[in-house]
Amino acid sequence: MLTRKELIRYVLAAAVLAPWGRALGGTASRFLQADSDPAATGSGGPPYSGEIVLGVSAAFSGPSRGLGTELYRGASAYFSRVNEAGGINGRRIVLKMYDDGYQPDPCVENTMKLMLEDQVFLLFGYVGTPTVTRVLPLLKKFQDENIFMFFPFTGAQPQRQPPYGDFAFNLRASYAQETAGLVNNFVSIGKERIAVFYQADAYGRSGWAGVRAALAPHGLRIAGEATYSRGANYTGTMRRQVEILKASSPDAVICIGAYAACAAFARDAVDFELDVPIANLSFVGSENMLKLLTEGREDSESYTRLLVNSQVVPSYEDLSLPAVREYRDLLDRYDPQVPPELVKEEYAPFPYSFGALEGFLNAKLLAEIIRRLEGEADRAKLEQAVFSVTDYDLGVGERVSFGPNRRQGLQTVYYTVVEDGRFVPLNDWQAKFA
């Protein structure tokens, strides 16, 4: 356990090193203070006096910046509404944000700053498996401080199982559930030779393990596999990867990657005649992927007709769901933008997206949990507040429950395909792919 003296020493050391870290790392941070965004009205006063500070490290730069941006927009829209209504138990929600560019080392540095220097109440809205898996040991190291990670944008296993499962709470379904759903559906229509295209890191490996585990009960193994380096751009070629997988004669390919690389693979698969269904996980960032594959093309369907993307939230077009209606209403009203300090490259957000809807649901559930603290911003009581959430209606048609052995809120996986330039629910696998 950290003594008060040690903690002060850490904080002082971090304070001394902080300017150097910023200068070298190039990460930007600030309390959100946009006039138009009531979620961002952190006055810089002492934590816990009138605000609850949530620490965020996510990808706001690099090829995956769309993921961090969309997730933030959804969360910020909900917190804006909360703050406009007077906050939670009289306290405003403030996001302390850093950019990690979807790279593990900056993410670890950011987390240290958030925990020791900024003394945030909890960690929220992290993006990516390679980043989160490197942060989890930090949470274990500081477990006596009761710093929890809430609702990271990753379906990987490390934050769902020992030894780190006790330090995180998840809302979305896991990659294991997503890949199992994809595999089972493919196998059910006779597509048994399943190959994997994946990012050469913890995220890709997590999805690879999910596919492998899902194939095993069917007596099947991964037919072929190819990898790419994290940070690959759409302009790069994936021809070699296509050739490797083509040599294994797959019936379908499951991609575990980010939108730029997966879009490049889908494009090259069509260009080099690998005409099989190509599935992507929710993390891919469906709207960004679709934009890359269709922008400026007359024949916009050629690259997208065999795509199937799994999602962990329902369609944002499904207006029958109360949460979707609320999400669209708040996003229209507040239209949150990433603080200019964090913007290094241009990014045009989508009016609505799966990522933003997930961010919105994350924020909505977190606000409910904080509300259950009944005015006490006490980390030690946070876990009990989470466990008190049972059969909670988030407005997506599936009720949410947490408990000591249940640290993931939602279990449903949705499948979508591209029709008329947008992702729509896939209801009949046989008709679409058989």
Q: Which of 241, 280, 288, 353 is close enough to bind other proteins by CB under 8 A? A: 241
Q: Which stretch binds other proteins (CB under 8 A): 28-36, 42-50, 76-84, 238-246?
A: 238-246
Query: 51 pairs with which residues across the strands?
Result: 92
Cα 398 → chain centroid: 19
**Cα–Cα distances in Å, from 318 out to 321, 352, 356, 396?**
6, 12, 15, 10
DSSP-derived pairing of the beta strands 252-256 and 392-393: unpaired
- Residue 244 CA to residue 35 CA, distance in Å, equals 52
For other proteins (CB under 8 A), the number of binding residues is 28
Cα 113 → chain centroid: 21
In the bound state with other proteins, the residue whose beta carbon lies nearer, of 61 and 157, is 157
- Residue 418 CA to residue 349 CA, distance in Å, equals 19
Considering the rule CB under 8 A, would residue 200 count as an interface residue with other proteins? yes
Considering the rule CB under 8 A, would residue 133 count as an interface residue with other proteins? yes
Q: How far apart are the first and last CA of the chain?
A: 58
Q: Are 338 and 69 in contact (CB under 8 A)?
A: yes
Considering the rule CB under 8 A, would residue 310 count as an interface residue with other proteins? no
Considering the rule CB under 8 A, would residue 150 count as an interface residue with other proteins? no
Region 46-105 residues binding other proteins, contact defined as CB under 8 A: 104
Q: Which stretch binds other proteins (CB under 8 A): 75-83, 130-138, 327-335, 380-388?
A: 130-138
In the bound state with other proteins, the residue whose beta carbon lies nearer, of 175 and 352, is 175
Instruction: Give the single-character DSSP code of 174.
Output: P
Q: Which of 117, 201, 268, 287 is close enough to bind other proteins by CB under 8 A? A: 201
Is 145 exposed, middle or buried, given 0-12, 13-18 or 19+ CB atoms closer than 10 A? Answer: middle
Considering the rule CB under 8 A, would residue 250 count as an interface residue with other proteins? no
Q: Which of 29, 227, 288, 362 is close enough to bind other proteins by CB under 8 A? A: 227
Q: Write each residue from 98 to 117 as x if it is in contact with other proteins (CB under 8 A), else as -, in one continuous string.
A: ------x-------------
Phi-psi region at 128: left, alpha or beta (left = phi > 0; alpha = psi -120 to 50): left
Considering the rule CB under 8 A, would residue 37 count as an interface residue with other proteins? no
In the bound state with other proteins, the residue whose beta carbon lies nearer, of 123 and 242, is 242
Q: Are 60 and 69 in contact (CB under 8 A)?
A: yes
In the bound state with other proteins, the residue whose beta carbon lies nearer, of 121 and 208, is 208
Considering the rule CB under 8 A, would residue 156 count as an interface residue with other proteins? yes
Q: Which of 39, 56, 112, 202 is close enough to bind other proteins by CB under 8 A? A: 202
Q: Which stretch binds other proteins (CB under 8 A): 2-10, 150-158, 306-314, 343-351?
A: 150-158
Considering the rule CB under 8 A, would residue 229 count as an interface residue with other proteins? yes
- Residue 325 CA to residue 112 CA, distance in Å, equals 37
- Residue 344 CA to residue 342 CA, distance in Å, equals 6
Considering the rule CB under 8 A, would residue 226 count as an interface residue with other proteins? yes
Considering the rule CB under 8 A, would residue 262 count as an interface residue with other proteins? no
As measured in angstroms, the least distance from the Cβ of 108 to other proteins is 11
Q: Which of 90, 162, 296, 340 is close enough to bind other proteins by CB under 8 A? A: 162
Q: What is the DSSP string of 189-218?
A: TT---EEEEEESSHHHHHHHHHHHHHHGGG
For 257-281, letters b (16+ CB in 10 Å) and e give bbbbbbbbbbbbbbebebebbbbbb
Considering the rule CB under 8 A, would residue 141 count as an interface residue with other proteins? no
As measured in angstroms, the least distance from the Cβ of 260 to other proteins is 15
What does the binding site for other proteins look like in residue numbers (CB under 8 A)?
104, 129-130, 133-134, 156-158, 161-162, 200-206, 208-209, 225-229, 238, 240-241, 244
